Structure 1
Amino acid sequence: MKPVDEYFLNQKEPFQSIMLYVRSVILNTLPEIEERYSYKIPFYNIGKKPMIYLNILKGKDYVDVAFVQGVLLEKQFPVLKNDNKRKQVRSIQLKTIEDLDHENFVALLHEASNLLSVSKKAWFLD
């Protein structure tokens, strides 16, 4: 079994179901995306550049769907929040699968993919 699959299977509910659902939407929406296991969490890369990662922050009761270049997307997609005072990353916090607006999320994935494909690098803020 791949480490990323093990990661998902080791999550408690409702996190496991939320993450597996988000994963399926990402993989079905962007067939070119590459799923990787880095820093002990699942990352989704376009080419070699990270676009999204899924995480459960300590002490939080939600799945953090984090967009690496989220700061560039937050005006167009106000669902993206600046949690933990991150400089560049913005995320969607999901407590239930129903919290995810599927159509808006698919549009966000396409926009993030387009943005990343024209960027020289994914991490541009120090």
Structure 2
Amino acid sequence: MKPVDEYFINQKEPYQSIMLYVRSLILNTLPEVIERYSYKIPFYNIDKKPMVYINILKGRDYVDVAFVQGVLLEKQFPILKNDNKRKQVRSIQLKALEDLDQENFVELLHEASSLLSKSKKAWFV
């Protein structure tokens, strides 16, 4: 079994269901994305550059769907929050599957992918 699969299997509910749903949306929306297991969490890369990752931050009660270049997307997608005072990363916090607007999330994925494809590197701050 791949480490990324083990990561999802070892999550408690409702986090496991939320993460698996987000994962399927990412993989089905962006067939060119590569799923990798880095820093003990799942990352989704385009052209070897990290675009988004899924995590549960210690002491939090939600799934953190974090966009690496989120600071450039937060005006267009107000659902993205600057949690944890991160310089560049912005994320969506999901406590339940119902918290995710699938149509808006798919649009966000396409925009993030397009933005990352035009960038020389993912981390610029």
Equivalent residue, structure 2, for 1:42: 42
**Equivalent residue runs for 1:50-65 within 5 Å:** 50-65=50-65
Give the deviation of 1:47 after TM superposition.
Answer: 1.1
When the two structures are aligned, how many residues end up with a matched partner?
125
Query: Which runs of 5 or more residues in structure 1 are unaligned?
Result: none
Determine whether 1:76 maps to 2:76. Answer: yes
CA distance in 1, matches of 2:17, 2:4: 14
> 2:105 corresponds to which letter in structure 1?
F
Q: Deviations over 1:26-57 (max 9, x none)?
A: 00000000000000000000011000000000
SS in 2 for 1:60: coil
Instruction: Give the TM-score normalised by structure 2.
Output: 1.00
Q: Percent identity of the aligned residues?
A: 86
TM-score by length of 1: 0.99
Task: Give the secondary structure class of the aligned counterpart of 1:66.
Answer: strand
Q: Offset of 1:72 from its aligned partner?
A: 0.1
Whole-Å Cα distance in 1 between the matches of residues 47 and 108 of structure 2?
18
